Structure 1
């Protein structure tokens, strides 16, 4: 497995990053099995692991902590904060109060005394970015955090944070974590070029677009992703097959399956290979729930797509376009259509 530099940090990471959202009650509730999956990923050469405090309400971090006993220093460990952790109104967000409190909880759950990459899970429209950066800078100076990053920031928010760090002499975000797949290409317009201009690394999530690019759902078949969406109502528009945009996704998937067959690849290998082939992408986050899913994704680390195959993908899905806008999860309400009206 060839390793890549994480932005300008000098740290080398694998092109596949093991995402752990599916470890715990949200996905695989068998702790021992989840640990076996993590160990298999590490044995395959993956040295990059990404979690978040909110995943299964902290259980994912606990599982990762158990799995990394005796291996901690060989892994680049990333986690995130921001999402609500309980009912208290201050147990969430990007405030100094919450950051200083929650980092201690994550360190305890992960059974470590430092986090390699501590990321803001989402931008906050009501919190000064300087407050967030200042608190994170203090954690770096204390040795509890090595680097800091953002997740699902728009291009303008990335730039604002970079400038604030420069002007206030604070630690800067060295990475961004956006959604990216063959069906969700909106970040090619401005987010990925902005990441490159600022020398940031990127760990992109959902390369299989929530399962759409796994081959699980096909056009004119009885299988449907709608039932999975019902478990998380906020994501329903991404899976509702009555929507024209999602029918379009099914059409696109058929074309991509045909292309994958011609290239001698599985659809999963084509999908992940596409993501890691972009020069602005450091690593693609894979999120297996089972060992079988992990084994189907590992070969993608060595996939190299020819220009002809990439051109064919561009013919099937226009560069810079997200087929269903509901799949975009970066930015804030300031970019929503209703916010564009004159007042």
Structure 2
């Protein structure tokens, strides 16, 4: 398997990362532990979590799995902070006050003395980024964090962080974690070119488009039993529109006609797009994980890439996977 550099760092990561948002939501603890260990067995080393996933329980179970197996050093732990951790006005956001406490709490749940990649789960626009970067710099210099990154931020906000770090001697973002799949390609317009210019790792979330690209949804049933849209509703359900499902099922037909499994091709497409470091896969079961592991050794054929471009042109979108980021405006400029 070919490992990839995490941005401009010397860290090598597998071409797929394991996401943990399904831990206890709905995946049980035992199955979650088995998935974590199986991912490590297969060579996946970047495991992404957050202090907001099931109220921090995803971090706890990840830490437990690594400690009990004695495999902490095999894992590159990426976690995040930003979302509320309590009722108070300072129990959220990217302030120094919140981030220092959130980091300590994550370290306790993970049962480790350091976090490999500490990410801002969302950007903040009503305070200077200097305060955030200064706090993250102190965490790095204290040894509690190795690298820092951001998630679901606009290109200009990430670049602002890079420039402020350069000017003031703060630690530098090494990664950005945006939503990205064939149904929402808008990061190709600005974020990916910026990341390539400044050697920033891109770790996309939702490469399967919540299962739409795996054929999980029928044209007449947008909330099938057991789907994330049905289980979680809200912004998750909003992403599953009739148009998204219609285009997604055309992709499913394209994949099968070309001899691919649709889920594998959706992940492969994201993995082999320019500027992508490692898509984050979020299987619910060990069986689903096993099904996606072969993608790490596969290469995307140019003719398939062209067929996907014809279905959803580069830089465009037919679904809104940025709907948790109000700074992004949905633009549907063509008919699919």
What is the TM-score with the length of structure 2 in the denominator?
A: 0.93
Q: Deviations over 1:154-191 (max 9, x none)?
A: 01111111111111111111100001101110111111
Q: Is the 8 A contact 2:214 2:252 kept in 1?
A: no
Give 1:234 shift: 3.3
Residue 243 of structure 1: aligned partner: none
Q: Secondary structure at the match of 1:217?
A: coil
Structure-1 separation of matches of 2:199 and 2:307: 29
After superposition, residues 1-343 of structure 1 pair within 5 angstroms as 1-24=1-24, 26-28=25-27, 30-69=28-67, 70-220=70-220, 224=224, 228-229=228-229, 231-239=232-240, 246-324=241-319, 326-329=320-323, 332-333=326-327, 335-336=328-329
Cα deviation for residue 65 of structure 1 reads 0.1
* Aligned mates of 2:91, 2:256 — CA distance in 1: 48
Alpha-carbon separation, structure 2, partners of 1:103 and 1:222: 38
SS in 2 for 1:52: coil
Tell me, yes or no, if the aligned pair for 1:49 and 1:78 is still in contact at 8 Å. yes
Partner SS for 1:204: coil
CA deviation after TM superposition for structure 1 residue 127, in Å: 2.3
Q: In 1, distance between residues paired with 2:203 and 2:298?
A: 17
Size of the aligned set, in residue pairs, is 327
Q: Runs ≥4 in structure 1, deviation > 6 angstroms?
A: none
Report Cα offsets for 1:207-232 as digits up to 9, x if no partner. Answer: 01112112211335686479743533
SS in 2 for 1:323: coil
CA contact (8 A) 2:81 2:102 kept: yes
| TM-score after normalising by structure 1 | 0.91
Q: Deviation string for 1:69-120 (max 9, x for gaps)?
A: 2111111110000011121211111000011111010001001001110000
Q: Assess, with a 3 A threshold, how the Cα gap between structure 1 residues 91 and 46 changes in structure 2: closer, same or farther.
A: same
Give the aligned CA root-mean-square deviation in angstroms. Answer: 1.8
1:56/1:80 CA distance change after superposition, 3 Å? same
**2:118–2:147 CA contact under 8 A, matched in 1:** yes
The 1:59/1:319 distance shift into structure 2, 3 A limit, reads same
